Amino acid sequence: MANCPRCEKKVDLAAKSDFRPFCSEKCKLIDFGSWANEDNKISRPIQSEDFYED
């Protein structure tokens, strides 16, 4: 279990969850809209080490 990044409701992160990590399609679309409007953006250029997990 985790929290929805948009509304903080509990979310099941199992593969059967259609909207993970969001709780619903509504939260997923709100988040997508924020990126599309450039309200959210990556704050620095991507580095090659960003693709590796520690």
In 3-state terms, the chain is what percent helix, strand and coil (to 5)? 30, 5, 65
Supply the pTM of this predicted model.
0.68
Decide: helix, strand or coil at residue 31: helix
Condensed to tens digits (0 to 9), the pLDDT of residues 3-54 reads 999 999 999 888 888 999 999 999 999 999 999 998 988 888 888 888 887 6
Domain range list for the chain: 1-26
